[in-house]
Amino acid sequence: MGCLVVLFGFITPRFAVVMLWLFSDYMSRAYGGWLLPTLGFFFLPTTTIAYAIAQNSIHAQLGKTIIVVLGVLVDVGVFGKGRGVAKDRGYRRDARA
């Protein structure tokens, strides 16, 4: 069951990026080309969506910064959570320790 939650967490933001790219001009208004959204799709999908929201919807610079920082924190949290769970359960990386 836990694996399904993790899989859902990885797929959902990428699905949202694809849907925004296919059915709206939201991503093209935020980004000038295709390279950054493509890299964002693979590496930081929540940050990619947060930046698009910040550029299209928020007018205050501080608000844009807060939204993008929250997106980065969500992406880092998704990638870093597995390491924390392994540490909590007592798994060790090397056999000697």
Shortest CA distance to 18 belongs to which of 52, 66, 57? 52
Domain residue spans of the chain = 2-89
Q: Who wins on pLDDT, 86 or 66?
A: 66
Q: Who wins on pLDDT, 3 or 96?
A: 3
Q: Is the predicted pLDDT of residue 30 greater than 70, yes or no?
A: yes
Answer whether 64's CB lies under 8 Å from 58's CB: yes
Answer whether 37's CB lies under 8 Å from 27's CB: yes
Q: Who wins on pLDDT, 88 or 40?
A: 40
Q: Who wins on pLDDT, 29 or 93?
A: 29
How much is the pLDDT for 85?
A: 58
Answer whether 52's CB lies under 8 Å from 20's CB: yes
Q: Is the predicted pLDDT of residue 82 greater than 80, yes or no?
A: no
**Mean pLDDT along residues 75-97:** 63
Q: Who wins on pLDDT, 39 or 6?
A: 39
